[in-house]
Amino acid sequence: MNITLNGKPCDTNAGNIISLLEEKNYRPELVAVEVNEDIIAKEGYRAYSLKEGDTVEIVTFMGGGEEKDTWFLGEHEFSSRFILGSGKYSLKLISAAVEQAGAQIVTLALRRANQGGMANIMDYIPKGVTLLPNTSGARNADEAVRIAKLSREIGCGNFVKIEIMRDSKYLLPDNQETVRATEILSKEGFVVMPYMYPDLNVARDLKDAGAACIMPLGAPIGSNKGLCTKEFIQILIDEIDLPIIVDAGIGAPSQACEAMEMGAAAVMCNTAIATAGDIPLMAEAMKRAIEAGRKAHLAGMGRVLFKGASPSSPLTGFLREEN
């Protein structure tokens, strides 16, 4: 059911006000609710049935303090800036990795179904996590569109990460076909998140095609080499008015932190976690590094001196000096 909640479109399964409050993590005793400009008494929250197209306002008293630092993909709001890959490691560790990462988005790869009731990755991903199917294996835009539609049919929603690679050695994305797939899928209601080689002109084309974000690679997929394309990613951060999510190549928490210090909106990581000795612990380390990098970016990074030095302590008033 589609309603307007606090001025923004909202897709909800809540049938009444109390269910909506629970879904959105509001405490009923601390809010007032207005539906279509009518104030609803608290004792009526459970009995009041929500309808398609309702306009709902939920208000509460707010004090001072830290502002909410969230970001958007299309109309969807997120607080975690860590997108977690789910490939390469045991299904039994996925739930722990997601929990330790604090991830709200997890990527999935579509493959032919196993016979005989084999375990399904979706059984291991915690409820409430946004599923982000990728089009890994697609060699052109048409194949990517096909994979995206199959993923939506399974129940993954409208999110899709476009990965189109004709090169099987270096796994570099085909930027031109990625633009074409983005244009097709965005017109069909998908939230399109394109993986691309960092190129300003292509990024502009992707934005014009309807991309919800831009996902430049830091280094080849699975290489753990870090931010080899740092200068080109910085150009995208500076010039493209969309979330820039650094994807592929991040191999250490320090590299994830650096990407966030640059001003990236989020970081996508898989191999560095999957190949770690302790997967849940590395997921937590990445989370904390991403949070630290984000805070550093918001604080404003200190200047860099390329010549000489600048003392951090006074150079006068030593004990040896005579008055």
Residues forming beta bridges with residue 109, ordered by sequence position: 134
Identify the residue whose tokens are 């008015």: 241
Q: How far is CA 103 from the centre of its chain?
A: 8
Task: Kindly state the DSSP code that residue 217 receives in the 8-state scheme.
Answer: B
CA angle 134, 260, 273 (to 5 degrees): 50
CB contact burial 55-91 (16+ within 10 A = b; e otherwise) = ebbbeeeeeeeeeeeebebbebebebbbbbbbeebee
Instruction: Give the span between the Cα atoms of 46 and 142, in whole angstroms.
Output: 47
Q: How far is CA 87 from CA 13, 108, 221, 272, in A?
A: 30, 8, 12, 11
Residue 24: active-site member: no
The answer to whether 202 and 196 are in contact (CB under 8 A) is yes
Strand order in the sheet with 32-35: 8-11, 2-5, 55-59, 32-35, 38-40
**Which one is catalytic: 8, 24, 51, 161?**
161
Number of H helices, E strands in the chain: 9, 15
Is the CB of residue 218 less than 8 Å from the CB of residue 259? yes
Catalytic residues: 161
